[in-house]
Chain A
Amino acid sequence: MSGYTVDARIRWTEWIPFVVALAAFFLLPEYLSLGARILIFILFALSLDLILGYAGIVTLGHSAFFGLGAYTAGILSAKYGLTDPFLQLFFSGIAAAILGVATGAIILRTRALTLLMLTLAITAVLLEVANKMSTLTGGADGLSGVVVAPILGLFKFDLFGRTAFLYCLAALFIGWWAVRRIIYSPFGAMLTGIRENRARMHAIGAPVYWRMVLIYTISATMAGIAGALLTQVNQFVGLNVLGLEPSGDLLVMLILGGVGRLYGAFLGPVIYLIVQDWLAKQYPEYWYFGVGALLITVILFAPGGILGLIDKCLQLFRQKSSVKASAR
């Protein structure tokens, strides 16, 4: 997906997610709130793919940034009367970026299991802070009274979630475009170098640590903005935006879709959230069993995620047809 030998022009297949999203907008009006949620998680998963799929930084704490973004937007609106949606996104992004630099600078000096535990600890601490500072966050009851002014003063967030859906789609489009530019750039190629062999990156003179802090911060910013979008769409913030669970869910989504493939971040949340939604209705007590079974199946039979499986099938198909062609 990245590197100096790759053609960076957008292929027609890359428009499919956006065409599908627009089609869903017109054809499935009763599912728009689920749709907006999916779009937000795609943006969140994209931010994780940047650091996990490209730079190879494994984290179980990405919800720290998502949650901080969600609470920043919520608190600014409910407690300080800042209702402009873009300003909320902006400040949420800034807050997440600051947390990203501050924590990244510390934890990225460590590796592997230590790093994983530290990321987990940071989001656990944040969860406890949000729980205890109930005057600001509403604690376990959640933060309600979030008001979001019409976008550009024109488009109100309506009851059916039409505005919310298109707004999230626009945000995702911008996020996708930025991520795509980064991974196709020399910086993106450099990230894959860090993922593939850190010792060698040091040996060719790359300041590996600073580069990792930079991409971690960019990723944190995106996650924060995704969290703010969730607040704006729900007009509510619950404690469930922080902690292990949303981080784990996110990781599962990305692994389902395919890590380090850009569009795995699109496919994963779609499948995960739709399956979750459906299972939760059919089997409200056992729905996590279904999700677990799905994950195990994918990991056993398609280690590159669903997108990896599709890639392999396409390759086989092409090989077969080229064999046939050469046989003639």
Chain B
Amino acid sequence: MPAALQTEKLCKSFGALTVAQNIDFRLEAGARHALIGPNGAGKTTFVNMLTGALAPTSGRILMNGEEITRTPQAARVKLGLGRTFQITTLFRRLTVLDNVALAVAEREGVARRMWKAAGRHGEIKDEATALLATLGLADDALVPAQDLPYGKQRLVEIAIALGLKPKVLLLDEPAAGVPSDESRKILANLEKLPPEVAVLIIEHDMDLVFRFAQRITVLVQGEVLIEGTPAEIGADRRVRDVYLGEGVHA
């Protein structure tokens, strides 16, 4: 069975600076996979190549066995590739409901319609409302996204991606900057994600990573250092040296 998402010898360099070097990576269908590594390891660059926001210098990207290396970003989304952003990337002045409804409308092909009022597309509104309810955001639907507390904004970030009903979901530090009690809330929501969705999560919160992921890939200076189960990664001497440091999780 082909991997949900796979890269072969993926490289990216900006001039003399190499940020990704021969990355061979497999995200299996339905996987819960984490990508970790110290700052500047090239994690976000890697995600940006997967989504098509950045073009790789060389190498291939495959989705369900089909090559998507040169496929534009919008077309990859249509194939079922959704993402969230490390830095909160919302439609700030729009309501929370609209933030999600825009994604749902895009998926349903409604977004280019110019005549009937958006408010009368009940099916879009209903789906967005239901999605917000599953994330515990039902009461915030009519609030402008920028007025929400930061932890909730991170949830809206995820809600927008879920509005696309992705088959593969890339979560770029979903709990970045969130206090630990709220990051637990985010984790609880991530654990509710449909099992058939393949999830790749980038995260610095090791608590969250070790609880959520079944497999972990460690990226250091643009290269894969090791890949394995959380137990294997936690026990690995090199990982502890370069990344986890002493005294953090084992």
A187 to chain B: which residues have CB within 8 Å? 111-114
Contact-residue size bin, chain B (C-beta under 8 Å from the other chain):
35 or more
Q: How many whole Å from B73's CB to the nearest CB in chain A?
A: 5
Residues of A within 8 A of B76 (CB): 205
Q: Is the CB–CB distance between B116 and A185 below 8 Å?
A: yes
- C-beta contact mask, A173-206 vs B, less than 8 Å → 1, else 0? 0000000011011111110110011011111111
- Cβ–Cβ contact A196 & B93, under 8 A: yes
Q: Is B193 positioned at the interface, with any CB of A under 8 Å from its CB?
A: no
* A261 nearest CB across to chain B (Å): 13
* Residues B111 and A196 in contact, CB atoms below 8 Å apart: no
Answer yes or no: B63 CB below 8 A from chain A CBs.
Answer: no
**Is A200 in contact with B91, judged by CB distance below 8 angstroms?**
yes
Bound CA–CA A190/B75 (angstroms): 17
B124-A186 in contact (CB<8A): yes
Set of chain A residues within 8 Å of B91, measured between Cβ atoms: 192-193, 196-197, 200
Q: Does A6 contact B (CB under 8 A)?
A: yes
| C-alpha spacing A204/B94, complex, angstroms | 16
**A305 to nearest B CB, angstroms?**
16
Query: Could you say which of A3, A205, A208 has the most chain B C-beta atoms within 10 Å of its C-beta?
Result: A205
Specify which chain A residues have a CB less than 8 angstroms from the CB of B83 in the assembled complex: 203
Cα A181 to Cα B121 with chains together (Å): 14
Q: Which chain A residue lies CB-closest to B157? A: A200
Which of chain A's residues have a CB closer than 8 A to the CB of B73?
202-203, 205
Verify if A5 is at the interface (C-beta below 8 Å from B): yes
Tell me which of B89, B105, B114 contacts A203 (CB under 8 A): B89
Q: Which DSSP category, helix, strand, loop or mixed, fits chain A's interface?
A: helix
Point out the residues of chain A lying under 8 angstroms from B163, CB to CB: 204
A6 touches B119 (CB 8 A): yes
Check A4 against B114 for contact (C-beta < 8 Å). no
Query: Is A207 interfacial (CB-CB < 8 Å)?
Result: yes
Of B74, B92, B94, B102, which one neighbours A207 at CB under 8 angstroms?
B74
Query: Distance (Å) between the CB of A11 and the closest chain B CB?
Result: 14
Known: A200-B160, A205-B77. A4 touches B89 (CB 8 A): no
B118 near A6 with CB under 8 A, answer yes
Residues of B within 8 A of A (CB): 51, 53, 73-78, 82-83, 85, 89-95, 97-98, 101-103, 105-107, 110-121, 124-125, 128, 141-142, 160-161, 163-164
Q: Which residues of A contact B (CB under 8 A)?
A: 2-8, 181-182, 184-190, 192-193, 196-197, 199-208, 211
